[in-house]
Amino acid sequence: MFTTSDAIIECVPNFSEGRNQSIIDAIANAISSIKEVKLLHIDIGKDANRTVYTFAGKPEAVIEAAYQAIKIAQEKIDMRMHQGAHPRMGACDVCPLIPLQNISMHEVKMYATKLGQRLGDLGIPVYLYEQSATIPYRKRLENIRKGEYEAIPEKLKNINWKPDFGTTNFNEEFGMMALGARNFLIAYNINLKTENLEITKQIAHNIRAIRKQNDSSYLSNLFQHVKAIGWYMPQYHCTQISTNIVDIDASPIIEVFDAIKQISADFGIETNGSELIGLIPERAFKHASMNLDDAIEHLGLNVVKPFDKHKNIIEYRLFS
């Protein structure tokens, strides 16, 4: 479908639905219906009540696919009824656009703005974040999402939280969303051999504390690009350190895993492999002094659910 000379954008929208298969399928069908777009992966989280779609294609087609998918979410997802383990603020909670090949970040930012305008016309409050942020404090997703869905009515009354696009009235059914251009982000969870959520949250707190030290130590440097929270996953009968690695070159996944494994051991807790949400670029494994298959084994990516390099690595999926 694509060649190495094409300009390609990746889109990884997160939708607040992980239990109703008909809605999950309807969003997938909306994406797949657009020519010059390839739906690469669907990651359904029942406990999180969240589904992450990964698709890629030519820029205009990707924007159209994202628009149609979010429109389906607006029609079918009611946030007034939503409950799940993952923090959330909208039916489509966040929609990042990532330059994959032969396209600049500046160009992707322009496409994000174009999509935001169209979504705003649907009555959806849209906040630009990451590289697209128009206000510095909106760059970080956690700042926009703070207080989650329940905080939206008061947030919209605050002039500092006027959406970049869309209504300032509370859209009860949809909530609100973040949209923007960003670099690769890996959503990556490390499994702990415990169901003790308090210890897990303390481990996550320690990771954040080390990051905030910003003292040029190895761990502080490593965690500068790692966001971490602790939660319990009934589906796996364990807790997890749930991370977002926002710079895959500065914070290599193997080193992040090994560091969190050691911090957990300091609390007397063993790890039990890890879980990737969505897809990962092949270059994320290049920092390891081991081959790709050994790196996958080292991370235990097959422990709680299957990991297949032909299905879970972007380049294998995109050009196959």
Of 160, 181, 202, at which residue does a domain stop?
181
Does any domain span residue 2? no
Tell whether 136 and 271 lie within a shared domain: no
The proportion of the chain whose per-residue pLDDT surpasses 90, expressed as a percent, equals 88
Q: How many CB atoms lie within 10 A of CB 105?
A: 16
* Domain span including residue 57: 8-181
| 156 lies in the same domain as 209 | no
Query: Are 52 and 160 in a shared domain?
Result: yes
**Does 144 share its domain with 92?**
yes
d(CA 91, CA 177): 8
What is the domain-level CATH number for residue 66? 3.30.990.10
Domain membership flag for residue 211 = yes
Is the domain of 109 the same as that of 218?
Answer: no
Same domain, yes or no: 314 and 244:
yes
- pLDDT of res. 319: 83
Comparing C-alpha atoms, which of 281, 279, 248, 277 is closest to residue 85? 277
For residue 1, tell me if it sits in a domain.
no
CA distances 159 to 162, 172, 175, Å, are 5, 19, 18
CATH number for the domain that contains residue 210: 3.30.70.670
Q: Does a structural domain hold residue 191? A: yes
Point out the domain boundary residue: 181, 197, 228: 181
Q: Are residues 100 and 25 in the same domain?
A: yes
Q: How far apart are CA 310 and CA 308, in angstroms?
A: 5
Domain boundary pick from 154, 181, 208: 181
Active site includes 310?
A: no
pLDDT of residue 2: 85
User: Which pLDDT does position 52 carry in this prediction?
Assistant: 94
pLDDT 10s digits, 74-127: 999 999 999 988 899 999 999 999 999 999 999 999 999 999 999 999 999 999
pLDDT value for 318: 86
Active-site entry in 86, 106, 287, 298: 86
Find all residues with CB under 8 Å of 72, minimum gap 6, and list them: 23, 26, 27, 30
pLDDT at 283: 87
Q: For residue 191, what pLDDT is reported?
A: 98
For the full predicted model, state whether its pTM sits above 0.85. Answer: no
Kindly state whether residues 104 and 34 are assigned to the same domain.
Answer: yes
The answer to the question of residue 52 being in a domain is yes
106 and 226 fall within a common domain = no
Is 156 in the same domain as 191? Answer: no
| Residue 89 domain-assigned (yes or no) | yes
Q: What pairs with residue 190 in β-bridges?
A: 241, 274
C-alpha closest to that of 15 among 43, 47, 40, 50 = 50
**What total of structural domains would you count in the chain?**
2
Distance separating alpha carbons of residues 36 and 14, to the nearest angstrom: 21
Q: Which residues of the chain have pLDDT under 50?
A: none
pLDDT of residue 124: 97
Q: Are residues 65 and 175 in the same domain?
A: yes
Residues 141 and 271 in one domain: no
